[in-house]
Amino acid sequence: MSFCFNFDVSATTNTDDVQRNASMTNKIDGVAKSATESGSPAEAVKEAKEHLPPSDPQRLLDDAIYETLTIGTFPPLHFLNETVFEKTVYEREDTENILSRTAEQRSDLISGVYEGGLKVWECTYDLLEVIDREGQTFGGKAVLDLGCGAGLLGILSLKRRAREVHFQDYNSTVLEQLTVSNVILNCQDDDSDDDDDEDGKGTLDKEEFKTKTKQNRKDLLLPRCRFFSGDWRTFLVLASSQDPPLKYDIIMTSETIYNTAYYPALHDTFHKLLASHGHIYVATKSHYFGVGGGLHLFETFVAQRGVFTVNHLWDSEVGLQRHVVVLRFKKESL
Ligand SMILES: C[S@@+](CC[C@H](N)C(=O)[O-])C[C@H]1O[C@@H](n2cnc3c(N)ncnc32)[C@H](O)[C@@H]1O
């Protein structure tokens, strides 16, 4: 048995070069339904772990077909084409066995098993547009892309000179096959706002300079990234056990508040990992049909906890409503 979320795709704006609408009607199969109806994951949560980038990152991009997203003043963001990715799932390493399961069940979400990170969800585009309008600069910041999926939010901050960027996704397969690939894809550009490698520009010819900067960018950008899989509860333990414990100036998270059962772990993660002066961008729909969560329930939960203020940065005016909000510590909770 299957049923659908009905995502409104009409309100998306100036990112026409991306074919993102095709799979926006998301099917959740019977497994997900029974799991989410009870409000808890179907299978045991995943223990958090860190993933090191592969020793031969280029291999991940052999024959890669990718798309390019251009928003406002941002450098272009590249990401693997979802359709091609889906068609090649059987050739990919997948220790969690989620690729074949999602393909067979034609499911975008299997609660507690696969949390949807293999495609770019539309609120990611909303958040990118809001960040562009807000003029958010990431220079020198420590950033967390929480529930990153394809990782576009973290990649943007990386290209905009964040000091370090951590990518977290529930599924290790998502991180290893998609997020890391997308990061590497973007490290090859010579369009980052990164001028640390300008040395020698005058002494090399154009082609030599291109080769040198490409290599340098990978050497410069990839070491600024860390990748973590697992559920938020155990990710928080792992992050807090680092020396020094991880703290972030900016946390960005898109389409991660669909399941109310995850709110306590998500809120604790925000609370413990955000630096006192920091802020959290949350991009979300008002309501996730069939799963039950959404912004109104999340705001109620946050208000009850009394730790953060919530301010709306953007609310869509048509269709199923989408929002971008920002959370900051209340003065009295610091
Ligand atoms: C619907 S996907 C959104 C992916 C991406 N942010 C986007 O907008 O395209 C939800 C993401 O939230 C994360 N997530 C959801 N529940 C989680 C949990 N309980 N623990 C850890 N991560 C979770 C997963 O990593 C998943 O990629």
Question: Domain locations in the chain?
Answer: 64-333
64-333 — its CATH code? 3.40.50.150
Residue located nearest, by CA, to atom 13 of ligand 1:
147
Of the pLDDT bands very low, low, confident and very high (cuts 50, 70, 90), residue 92 is confident
% pLDDT > 70, the chain: 78
Cis previous bond, 264, omega within 30: no
For residue 270, the CA-to-ligand 1 centroid distance in Å is 14
pLDDT at 261 over 70: yes
| Ligand 1 atom with minimal separation from the 145 CA | 6
Confidence category of residue 18, pLDDT binned at 50, 70, 90: very low
- 67 Cβ closer than 6 Å to some ligand 1 atom: no
Verify whether ligand 1 is closer than 6 Å to residue 126 (CB atom). no
Using a 6 Å cutoff on CB, does residue 232 contact ligand 1?
yes
- pLDDT reported for residue 62: 78
Whether 170 lines ligand 1, by a CB cut-off of 6 Å, is yes
